[in-house]
């Protein structure tokens, strides 16, 4: 059977189509699982950031993972690549309003099974120190957003005084 206007069969499986929201394209498994693929939302979507820490707990499973998706920050027990984390049971989950996490990292030197320090940087320039195990927020730095990469670029030495 021929389709109107193109002479192609109607039963043909499309690998790409365009809508008003954007272009949808069928990806091969190797393209889809590639870690540096283009984010699904090209309108200012921030990539997911991931960091790991080992807290040396008694159970032998001391690895922890932290990652952000949009305005949400998650903290889980990490069981390795062959065993998925139980995503319904995060150790800590935080949802931020007004600003979103853009980077984060653990203090590996002070991490224990009872406490771990995590620094989180935000899109508006703030930096927050949290403990996802104790579910505590310790300090918020640069709350007014006075320090930013633009201020550093404009200073003569590249540092903020």
Query: What are the boundaries of each domain within the chain?
Result: 19-35+47-141
64 alpha-carbon distance from chain centroid: 15
Q: Express each pLDDT in 83-133 by its tens digit.
A: 877 778 889 999 998 888 989 999 999 999 899 999 999 888 899 999 999
pLDDT of the residue at 60: 73
C-alpha to C-alpha distances, 120 to 61, 100, 104, 141, nearest whole angstrom: 24, 10, 4, 10
Residue 105: is it exposed, middle or buried by C-beta count within 10 angstroms (0-12/13-18/19+)?
Answer: middle
C-alpha to C-alpha distances, 71 to 18, 55, 56, 104, nearest whole angstrom: 28, 26, 29, 13
- Please tell me what DSSP assigns to residue 57: -
Q: Are 48 and 38 in contact (CB under 8 A)?
A: no
The pLDDT of residue 19 is above 60? yes
Query: Collapsing DSSP states into helix, strand and coil, what is residue 154?
Result: helix
pLDDT of the residue at 32: 56
What is the rounded radius of gyration, in angstroms, for the C-alpha atoms of the chain? 22
pLDDT of the residue at 118: 94
The pLDDT of residue 30 is above 50? yes
Q: Dmax of the chain from CA atoms?
A: 73
How far the first Cα of the chain sits from its last, in Å, is 73
- Taking the CB of residue 108, how many other CB atoms lie within 10 A of it? 13
pLDDT of the residue at 132: 93
pLDDT of the residue at 56: 82
Task: Tell me the average pLDDT of the chain.
Answer: 77
pLDDT of the residue at 82: 75
Q: Express each pLDDT in 51-86 by its tens digit.
A: 999 888 777 778 899 999 888 999 998 887 778 777
Q: Are 148 and 158 in contact (CB under 8 A)?
A: no
């Amino acid at each position: 059977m021929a389709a109107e206007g193109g002479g192609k069969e109607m039963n043909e499986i499309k690998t790409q189509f365009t809508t008003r929201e954007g272009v949808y394209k069928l990806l091969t498994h190797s393209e889809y699982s590639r870690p540096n693929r283009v984010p699904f939302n090209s309108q200012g979507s921030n990539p997911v950031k991931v960091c790991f820490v080992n807290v040396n707990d008694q159970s032998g499973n001391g690895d922890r993972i932290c990652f952000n998706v949009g305005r949400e920050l998650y903290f889980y027990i990490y069981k390795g690549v062959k065993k998925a984390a139980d995503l319904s049971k995060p150790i800590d989950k935080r949802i931020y309003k007004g600003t979103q996490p853009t980077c984060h990292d653990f203090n590996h030197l002070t991490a224990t099974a009872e406490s771990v320090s995590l620094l989180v940087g935000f899109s508006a320039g703030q930096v927050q120190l949290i403990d996802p195990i104790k579910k505590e927020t310790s300090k918020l730095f640069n709350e007014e957003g006075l320090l930013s990469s633009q201020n550093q670029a404009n200073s003569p030495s590249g540092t903020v005084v």
